[in-house]
Amino acid sequence: MSDLLYVLLTLASFAGLAMLAGVIDRYLTDPDPEPDEPAAATATATATAEVTR
């Protein structure tokens, strides 16, 4: 009985990990909702442009 429980625990854990790989893959391949520019970089670039102007 204990053996079966540990086998099931192992299978469930690996199934969860395999699903996580699928979730990450979908997350990475979805079209970008917004540019990958970090907020701080955008803000600094804008501020620099204003000072230059």
Partner 1 sequence: MSETAAAFGQFAVLVVALVLVVPPLGRFLAHLYTSEKHLAVERGTYRLLRLDPDADQHWRVYALSVLGFSLVGILFLEAFGRLQQHLPLDIGMSALPADGAWNTAVSFVTNTNWQWYSGEAATGHLFQMAGLAVQNFVSAAVGMSVAAAFARSLARSRAGGRVGNFWADLVRTVVRVLLPGAVVGALLLVAAGVVQNFAAPRLVTTLDGGSQAITGGPVASQEVIKELGTNGGGFYNANSAHPFENPTALTNILEIFLILVLPFAMAWAFGHIVKDRRQGAAVVSVMALLLTTSIALMTWAEMAGHGTAPQLAGGAMEGKEVRFGEAASALFGAATTGTSTGAVNAMHDSFTAAGGGLAMFNMMLGEVAPGGVGSGLYGMLMLAVVTVFLSGLMVGRTPEYLGKKIGQREMVLVAAYVLATPVLVLVGIATAITANAGLAGLQESGSHGLSEALYAVTSAANNNGSAFGGLTSGTPFWNTLLGLLMLFGRFLPLILVLGLAGRFAAARTLPAGAGTLPTHRPLFVVLLTGVAIVLVGLTFVPVLALGPIAEALL
Check residue 11 for interaction with partner 1 (CB under 8 A): yes
Rg of the chain, C-alpha, whole Å: 23
Check residue 21 for interaction with partner 1 (CB under 8 A): yes
Check residue 8 for interaction with partner 1 (CB under 8 A): no
How far apart CA 32 and CA 12 sit, in angstroms, is 32
Binding site for partner 1 (CB under 8 A): 2-3, 5-7, 9-11, 13-14, 17-18, 20-22, 24-25, 27-28, 32, 34-38, 40-41, 43-45, 48
